[in-house]
């Protein structure tokens, strides 16, 4: 993967087409999710725009909309990813009250 700064000062990724979804998709989603989490720590979700999310991580709105329908889709992805990580790392015999703490 090659990362470069485009003419608008935003980060872009160059990957072989065969690896595009496998390698960069999850990395880009992670970067966008970290941007949203950073912004939510400063203001409420209903006051955050997609433009604010992409500006915070130097990406474009086109990149955002390639991966997510809207900011709520991104928020749901963050939630699902975190729940998946918790459930995968816990023992299947533990009760939910212990797993979720």
Is a pLDDT exceeding 90 seen at residue 61? yes
- What is the per-residue pLDDT for 44? 95
CATH number of 2-99: 1.10.357.10
Radius of gyration of the chain (CA): 16
pTM: 0.66
Is a pLDDT exceeding 60 seen at residue 4? no
Question: Quick count: other Cβ atoms within 10 Å of Cβ 6?
Answer: 10
Going from N- to C-terminal start, the domains of the chain cover 2-99
Residues 48 and 44: their CA atoms lie apart, in Å, by 7
- Give the end-to-end CA distance of the chain in Å, rounded to a whole number: 38
pLDDT, average across residues 21-48: 87
């Amino acid at each position: 993967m090659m990362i470069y700064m485009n003419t608008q000062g935003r980060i872009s990724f160059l990957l072989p087409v065969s690896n595009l979804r496998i390698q960069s998709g999850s990395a880009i989603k992670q970067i966008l999710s970290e941007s949203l989490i950073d912004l939510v720590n400063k203001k409420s979700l209903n006051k955050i725009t997609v433009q604010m999310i992409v500006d915070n991580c130097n990406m474009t709105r086109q990149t955002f909309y390639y991966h997510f329908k809207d900011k709520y889709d991104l928020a749901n992805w963050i939630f699902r990813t975190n729940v998946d990580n918790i459930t995968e790392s816990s023992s299947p015999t533990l009760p939910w009250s212990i797993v979720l703490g």
